[in-house]
Chain A
């Protein structure tokens, strides 16, 4: 670019937009997630903080002292100038040396008190946040499973991480700062008024100017930031889209096309970003200038007053310093206030989860069984998630120990609900469910579940070694038992071929091994748990047919000798079951073995000969 252009270029930008209705701009600018119940949320945060009442009291005490000291410091400098440097005489009859010692003590205590005030507050804040985190986390584990189905995982994640972090940062500093800002503001104001009401008024001239200037700026920055944000979102979206689709771009030789599109978006963001930054960049300049202005006014007019003998030089010096101290807390207050509000809103979202109702408690006399055989009986069981709408109605069947029961039916027929009743994630609203002749309501929930093992559709692996992931099935299992389980599950051979073998670290979600291998690990995990009752909830539906053939053997071994409930779309798994329950619209439509059901020529036979259950039940 030629030099002459570079000089004039900045002035050739298009002008920034100004919107006609300032109230609208303010609304847009300030629109943030606000808390609904501020006082309630504050009370709950307080209940956490209140565990350290003594320390908190000390912090407040320190804030009081440090605020007082920060007022006293400049005041004493003024006194020093008037009484010792300029004039004669003393302050409360103190000699110069004694005065300096007192000043020294004030100057020494001010930083020390502010130090203790902040570190004690940090300790309290971090402890509070720690407790909130742990409480929230353990509460999550008490919530009924359907809760997690209703919520988006990303949104939950954000509450547990971002929102708590937000609370943490605010408690660390903002809470105390707001308190001390208010104290200093009041203190400064009263001292200033006593010293010279006229100079105080002069100092205050800047406040309406500040408000005016801020209004002028926010009127413009509001829409500008909004525009920049939307341009930025657009550009980021484009980057994400084209980079994720890079393979397509390459395969279709479209590099030039996307480069041009990118350049256009890039230019748009440059323009909107330029004005947003220029105008919002004026805020600190404005603040600074107003500081300078009050300095000039106090110095000039104060000088005139001093010559007339209305104030002393010391007073001018105190005012010059106070004026600086005065605009700072005002500025802080505005900033901190917003942070505080957003933290309260964050805390509220955290507490919202803590208020979710937990799973029902076990009955007091509930039993703990060491061993179960695995005889399962449903007698006229019905259930509805909501009053008046039944998801399951009048289900009866009996499974002898070691039998395989297949559950078949379209999505929403109630297959998963039936399993959830058996594992007591819900309690049936009618009828009886018994295990070994014992009603499951009389068995402790955790004990009941410890006799069951699940292999689910979305195999989940934790960050950790393969060994640790298998051992999750039974935490006290030895290395030999882990390997034994892996061998039975047909997983051993692929594990030893991995670099690192059983000690290979699996990263989040188990990337680095195939879907089929993940499923084998899940089978090994269930094998190790050695349950009497096994549930395979669409364990093979997310794997391709070739992989399924490969894991079939491991699954068969796992099911041997256990009462197994199998929910599956693919027919060959189902065909071998001892009993098939065909569910439709919450009712038990057909019941029998594969051959019996085929002979009957009903719904199952239709499914089997027709489209196949995959099509019917798939999405």
Chain B
């Protein structure tokens, strides 16, 4: 909650105005039963037409007044809540961008997305509703009771006794119902889970003839869902009738004592009517209480989830330094030329010494005791089964994660000593899954280096073997990609993301299985073109054809380096490598035979 108030502080004036307007509106409404008692007692009872006119007009003016106040409160509340949400979202996004990658991957991406969208919207709506409506409900209850006591203290006291009782009751129901609905949600998730599984595995279920088994499983979990839902709803459905029951009893009591007082002359008809009217208003407000409690508890959960992100440390020292540098650059509004020159000074030799690594959230070692050296400008090919640690290995080079043990040197200097930004500016990274952004092809390539000229972009595209394809598109480099744009094939997207990495003129190029969708001829042309530019290349691949020319081949198995060397060396020393070679190249040999 402190988080909410911290962000709302900037909008305190608008928020207070919204509340004030709401109170004005409420006052008018609360005065109504009081005024009608005046009309009855002073107007009708005394047959005084003037009094009726007067109070009638007061009521009318009040209505207009209340409407204006209501509209104004909506305006201010909307301003405050939208501003709040916008600020919060931006802070949250900046915070997430400041995370080091290993901190970032502690959260599931989908959960971060929900926090930034759903949870922020939830808080925004809650604030909006609070300013206009929710704070009003307790005020209606309290105000009605007080007004009833003002009109006639003794009769009003009857309300003052019943209402707190009902409040306790509503809170008790809420607490119990909350737990029950959580249960219902769990059951529903279970039911949906079974459906999801069955739809995905439908062929398997069919061929294993397990339909009866699955139907039984589903009926059982659906049955539980039904029982829990009925139980939870039965509880909440008692709330309203119970409130009505108690308040009705109070009204009967008001009438009973009211008549006695009228007979005794200590009360008027108008007063009795007004108190009864206040009681009726309380019923409506009380029933809204449960809804408010639910909203607040959900908003609380959202605030908690957002706070978790806000309270997370950004990451290691190198990363923070970089963020600060970034902030400064933002204030200056320019790109740092100094950093860039440092970047091109980097040569590109890489050395791993006994490197081990595990992901922050996992206890399984992904890499263990990896050592190798590669000189600047040479090519390393990395092979291994899915899950053997190939991608993890290359991700350590741009310092996306902190390793657990060992050292990684770039140009003989530990990567911990490099400024992370300088290091990354010299690295071109092409990840396994193709990630292009919505925008034009030119923008996507220039994304690698914002100040790249069109010539540089075209040059990168030529090396990546995508230039001709782009030229053939109706809008060339200005063709839009993404949701409303052109759909490129898998291989075209891969080559585009290679171009994006190349436009940086990297000293170290990392291709994480980025040529898998290319046909052999295109891949060969690409590798040939890469030979002509001088940069250290890490190439993760499944194809023997692309490892043969590498200066060093690393063969990984379950996180360990089981063989390393040139193609000829591995053919002699590694049985697994020979196995892979044979499975891919036999047909080639058959052709030669």
Contact = CB atoms under 8 A, between A and B. Distances in A.
Given A253-B424, A259-B94, A543-B386, 8 more contacts: A6-B12, A9-B14, A10-B75, A10-B76, A80-B255, A133-B218, A251-B400, A300-B53
A482 to B, nearest CB: 15
A273 B215 CA distance: 46
11 contacts: A13-B79, A140-B199, A142-B211, A242-B437, A251-B431, A262-B93, A288-B70, A453-B208, A544-B542, A612-B587, A615-B519
A86 B219 contact: no
Nearest to B124: A273
A267 B86 contact: yes
Contact of B44 (A134, A306, A546, A612): A306
A108 interface: yes
Interface stretch (A51-59, A181-189, A276-284, A426-434): A276-284
A289 B70 contact: yes
Query: Could you say which of A250, A282, A449, A472 has the most chain B C-beta atoms within 10 Å of its C-beta?
Result: A250
A449 B206 contact: yes
A593 interface: no
B400 A247 contact: yes
A26 interface: no
Contacts of B341: none
A118 interface: yes
A209 B28 CA distance: 20
A108 B109 CA distance: 54
Interface stretch (A152-160, A190-198, A367-375, A383-391): A152-160
Given A107-B248, A449-B207, A549-B576, A241 B241 contact: no
Contact of A608 (B272, B384, B587): B587
Contacts, number: 408
User: B interface, how many residues as a size bin?
Assistant: 35 or more
Interface in A514-568: 514-516, 529, 535, 543-550
A248 B59 contact: no
B237 to A, nearest CB: 5
B252 interface: yes
Nearest to A113: B241
A608 B205 contact: no
Contacts of B201: 460, 462
Interface in A161-199: 161, 165, 168, 172
A243 B580 CA distance: 36
B96 interface: yes
A252 B249 CA distance: 71
Contacts of A241: 437-438
A247 B434 CA distance: 11
A332 B40 CA distance: 32
B344 interface: no
B78 interface: yes
Contact of A251 (B222, B241, B429): B429
Nearest to B93: A262
Contact of A572 (B73, B93, B240, B586): B586
Contacts of B400: 247, 250-251
B495 interface: no
B519 A281 contact: no
B60 A252 contact: no
A572 B204 contact: no
A256 interface: yes
B43 interface: yes
Contact of B195 (A161, A255, A499): A161
B29 interface: yes
B269 A115 contact: no
Given A130-B226, A300-B57, A277 B199 contact: no
Contact of B74 (A142, A269, A285): A285
Interface stretch (A41-49, A291-299, A397-405): A291-299
Interface string B232-246: 011001101110110
Given A112-B241, A122-B234, A300 B59 contact: yes
B590 interface: yes
Interface in A454-509: 454, 456, 460, 462-463, 472-473, 475, 499, 508-509
